[in-house]
Amino acid sequence: MRMVTRQEIEKSMDIIHNLSEEETYEWIHVMQEEQPFLQIYVAAICERGDFEDDNDIDAFTNLAIIIWHAMRTAAQGPLAEVKGYEIDEREEALIEHFNSVEGEAEADVMNAVQTWLEDDPQRPLLEFLLMTLMSPENPYEVTEESTGMLLVYLKVIAECLDHASPQKEAKAPAKKVLHPGQCMRCQAVLNKANMTNHLKKCKEKAGGSNERGVEMFHLLIESVPLPMYWLHVEIPGTKTLADLDAFLRGIWLECCGHMSCFTIEGTHYVSSPMEESIFGRREKSMRQKIYTILRMGMKFKYAYDYGSTTDLKLRVVDIHKQQVKKSGVTLLARNQPPPWECTGCGKPATQVQAGGWGIDPDFLYCDDCAADADEDDLLPIVNSPRTGVCGYCG
């Protein structure tokens, strides 16, 4: 793509910094839809503990969104999806380069950075990052030790997007991502964006709320990198996070009893108290009751398995009182199986190459192509964001 000017990147910074919380959420959502693998990359870096300081993590996520926003704006619309392996390759090359100059005299390091900049097709953007991270004003207050790695990771993102061509077909108004799913009460099939409203109406028809009933929490649960996987569930406030954990494992996640964790307002609620210590001091067990922790509108996170993690985000979309016959977690609606296509022939895919990334559109097979590919490392495609991860078979 063309070079992003200094003015453009500063304008994007201005826009991103002045968003309301709701608007920020919307932009993150757009990024997830357009660049799921970059989103996973950003999340993974935040999780893997390279940065000790929360400021560094905030600076990284913030600048990553600004880069994406500026480059997307310069391209006048969405860029082609960056693939997981491209990110890996670029990161590997840049880290190698970075390590080769680390520890050299400061003048040599500055020289290396200078050459870096001169060769870069997105030089103004890189200079902007350098200035933002290294200037005395340092608006993000990042720690000095982190500056180098922050620059490397952000350059990986900028390079990947620089090589992604503008997506012509994305401009056609018909191409909207709809992620359909089904209401369990009335069997209606609706798009993801319309389901919350539908469920409210559908609930009223089925009896609605009742002041003498049990307090029920209606949650929207979504896969973080794969927005086509989503659930609406209802759980009584007297149930615990452990009950919700068990439900998520049952419907979407359980492969071999990995650990899991809810992160709610900075506190970790972990499944396995024996190993709580890996999180430091701020963790609790999942035996907390839902009504003592969740409030209307609250957003929180969930992660299953710390090796090859499946990340989910959750939101309390409604709290109401209701007479209930069954006191467990109720599934209100669920996405329909996404129509993944075989990488080889375009027919409906049934299998995916097993690997840490899970669903990768470049490694999907129909039964015929799977037989031809002679791959033994295949897993079935099931209706879950954990498809293709660890040994998950549904």
What is the binding site for Zn ion (CB under 5 A)?
A: 183, 185-186, 188, 202, 255-256, 342, 344-345, 347, 366, 369, 390
Locus of tokens 């012509």: 168
145 or 204, CB closer to Zn ion? 204
Cβ-based neighbour number of residue 316 at 10 Å: 17
Cα gap 324→258, rounded to integer Å: 32
Q: How far is the CB of 289 from Zn ion (least distance, A)?
A: 28
Positive or negative torsion for Cα 192, 205, 332, 210: positive
Q: How far is the CB of 26 from Zn ion (least distance, A)?
A: 26
8 A C-beta contact, residue 230 and residue 223: yes
Report the side by side order of strands in the sheet with 351-353: 364-365, 351-353, 378-380
4 or 199, CB closer to Zn ion? 199
b/e sequence 111-140, b meaning 16+ C-beta within 10 Å: ebbeebeeebebebbbebbbebbeeeebee
8 A C-beta contact, residue 12 and residue 70: yes
Q: Which residues pair with 380 in a beta bridge?
A: 351
b/e sequence 273-303, b meaning 16+ C-beta within 10 Å: eeebeeeeeebbebebebbebbeeebebebb
Q: How far is the CB of 17 from Zn ion (least distance, A)?
A: 40
77 or 346, CB closer to Zn ion? 346
Locus of tokens 């077909």: 169
166 or 344, CB closer to Zn ion? 344
Q: How far is the CB of 344 from Zn ion (least distance, A)?
A: 4
Q: How far is the CB of 354 from Zn ion (least distance, A)?
A: 11
Distances (CA, A) of 369 to 85, 271, 301, 382, 389: 22, 40, 37, 18, 20
123 or 249, CB closer to Zn ion? 249
Q: How far is the CB of 238 from Zn ion (least distance, A)?
A: 25
Q: How far is the CB of 317 from Zn ion (least distance, A)?
A: 15
DSSP codes, 77-99 = SPBPPPPHHHHHHHHHHHHHHHH
8 A C-beta contact, residue 247 and residue 340: no
CA torsion, points 184, 188, 192, 198, in degrees to nearest 10?
Answer: -90
74 or 248, CB closer to Zn ion? 248
Q: How far is the CB of 194 from Zn ion (least distance, A)?
A: 11
Cα gap 39→78, rounded to integer Å: 14
Is beta strand 267-270 parallel, antiparallel or unpaired with respect to 260-264? antiparallel
Q: How far is the CB of 369 from Zn ion (least distance, A)?
A: 3
